[in-house]
C-alpha cells in the first residue's frame, strides 16, 4: 500500500508537487588532465515534493558532516543514495534552477522514497 500516495492529496494542497529531473549517477570518466568527470544516465522526469528536514533528520545529516542548504525530497519509486559496495551514489535531483545532490535516503519503501539532498552551487 502506497501510504505516501494516499496522503499526497492533502499534503499537495499545502505544498504542491513540482516537476523535477532525476539524474542517476553512472560513475565517472577520467579527463585528459587526470580529473574525474561524473557521468549520468539520461534524465528521468518525475513529480517531487521538497520539504524541510525534521530536527532528528537534521541531526542525522549533521553527523555526515555535510554543510549547506539541506532539504527532504519525496518522490514515487525506489531510489538509492550512496551504496559503496555497488559503487553508486552522486545522484542529482534538479528542481527548476536548483540542483540537489542526494546525500542519504531517509525512508525507502517499495512505492516511494524520502531523500535528503543538499543544494549545489551553480
Contact indicator for 5, 21 with CB cutoff of 8 Å: no
Q: Is the pTM of this model over 0.95?
A: no
* Integer CA distances (angstroms), 70 to 15, 45, 113, in order: 17, 21, 16
β-bridge mates for residue 26, sequence order: none
Residue 74 burial by Cβ neighbours in a 10 Å radius (0-12, 13-18, 19+):
buried
For the chain, give the percent of residues with pLDDT over 90. 40
Report DSSP letters for 84-109, one per residue. GGGTB---EEEETTEEEEEEEEEEE-
- Answer yes or no: is pLDDT of 46 > 80: yes
Question: Pick the residue with more confidence: 4 or 22?
Answer: 22
Distance of CA 22 to the CA centre of its chain: 8
Look at residue 16 in the predicted model and tell me its pLDDT. 84
For the chain, give the percent of residues with pLDDT over 70. 80
Q: What is the pLDDT of residues 62-106, one digit of tens each?
A: 777 778 889 999 998 877 666 666 666 788 999 999 999 998 889
Rounded to an integer, the average pLDDT of 36-46 is 92
CATH code of the region 3-28+35-119: 2.40.10
- Answer yes or no: is pLDDT of 20 > 80: yes
Contact indicator for 103, 66 with CB cutoff of 8 Å: yes
Amino acid at each position: 500500500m502506497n501510504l505516501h500516495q494516499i496522503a499526497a492529496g492533502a499534503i499537495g494542497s499545502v505544498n504542491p508537487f513540482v516537476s523535477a529531473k532525476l539524474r542517476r549517477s553512472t560513475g565517472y570518466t577520467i579527463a585528459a588532465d587526470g580529473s574525474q568527470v561524473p557521468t549520468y544516465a539520461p534524465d528521468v522526469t518525475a513529480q517531487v515534493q521538497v520539504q524541510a528536514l525534521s530536527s532528528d533528520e537534521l541531526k542525522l545529516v549533521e553527523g555526515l558532516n555535510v554543510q549547506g542548504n539541506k532539504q527532504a525530497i519525496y518522490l514515487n519509486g525506489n531510489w538509492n543514495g550512496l551504496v559503496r559496495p555497488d559503487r553508486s551514489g552522486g545522484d542529482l535531483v534538479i528542481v527548476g534552477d536548483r540542483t540537489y545532490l542526494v546525500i542519504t535516503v531517509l525512508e525507502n519503501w517499495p512505492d516511494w522514497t524520502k531523500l535528503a539532498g543538499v543544494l549545489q552551487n551553480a
